[in-house]
Amino acid sequence: MLTVIGAGFGRTGTASLKAALERLGHGPCYHMSTVIAEPRRVRQWLDVGEGRAADWDALFDGFRAAIDWPAASYWRELAAHYPDAKVILTVRDPARWYDSVSSTIFARALAERRLPPRRRMVRWLVARRSPDFALYPRMARATVFDRVFGGRIDDREHVLAVFERHVAEVKEAVPAERLLVFDVRDGWAPLCAFLGVPVPDEPFPESNERAAWHRKRPRRLARLLLRGR
C-alpha cells in the first residue's frame, strides 16, 4: 500500500527523491525507471492510459511510494484511492525544468514522430526482442504527452502553462497537512519533518537526471537487444 504519492512532473528531482524516500524507509519507490527496468509494466500503464480499468493495488504491489511519470499523471486518482498517503509535489524553476524535459523526454518523443528508416529497423529489432517495451512510445503518449500536455509538447508556452497550472491545482486540491511542496535543493529537513522521521547524517541524494538520461539511454537499448528484455 502506498504511503507516499508523488505529484511532481518528471525532471523535478524525482530521481533524488526516490533515493531519499528509500533511505527513509518509504521504499521500494515506484518511478519511471521501474517501468523501463521491467518492460512488462509498460502494458499495465498502456491499459490505464487507454481508459481500461486501473487496479492500483495490483500495479503498485510491493511498493510504498510512487513518484515521477506515469504515476504523477494520476495523482488525483491515487490520492483518492490511498487517502492516508502523503502527497509530495516536487517543484523547480519552470524555465530550468523546461530546458531539462525538452532536451530529454520530449526530444525523444518528438524524434519518434519522424523516425528515419534506420531507426525504424532498430525499433523493429526491439519489438522482436521485447514486445512490451516496443509499446513504450504509445504508453508514454497515452499517460503523459496526450493526457497531461494535450500532445503539444513542442509548444514551449503551452508546456510551461501546463506546468504552472499543475502546481496550482495540486496545491488547491490537497489539504495543507497532507501536502509537501518540495524543492530537492532544500535537502533532508523539510522532507523528514513532513514524514516524521529523523534527519540522516549524510548528504541528501543528488542525481543529475539529464546527464544520466543521456548516458544510460544507449546502454539501455543495447541491453534490450542483447538480453531480450
Nearest to 145 by CA among 153, 137, 157: 153
E strand map for the chain: 4-6, 29-30, 65-66, 86-90, 179-182
Band (pLDDT 50/70/90 cuts) for residue 212 is low
**pLDDT tens by residue, 70-119:** 999 999 999 999 999 999 999 999 999 999 999 999 998 898 777 776 66
Measured at the CA of 81, the angle between CA 75 and CA 84, to 5 degrees, comes to 95
For 25, which DSSP code? T
Kindly state the cell numbers that stand for 161: 502553462
For the cut 50, the answer to whether the pLDDT of residue 170 exceeds it is: yes
Q: Which residue has the higher pLDDT, 21 or 116?
A: 21
- CB contact at 8 A, 182 and 17: yes
Average pLDDT, the chain: 89
Q: Give the per-residue pLDDT at 169.
A: 98
Cα gap 212→223, rounded to integer Å: 16
Cα gap 36→12, rounded to integer Å: 19
Q: Give the per-residue pLDDT at 226.
A: 43
Give me the sign of the Cα torsion angle 186, 191, 197, 203. Answer: negative
> Please, what are the domains in the chain?
4-227 (3.40.50.300)
Q: Give the per-residue pLDDT at 208.
A: 63
**pLDDT tens by residue, 41-75:** 999 999 999 999 999 999 999 999 999 999 999 99
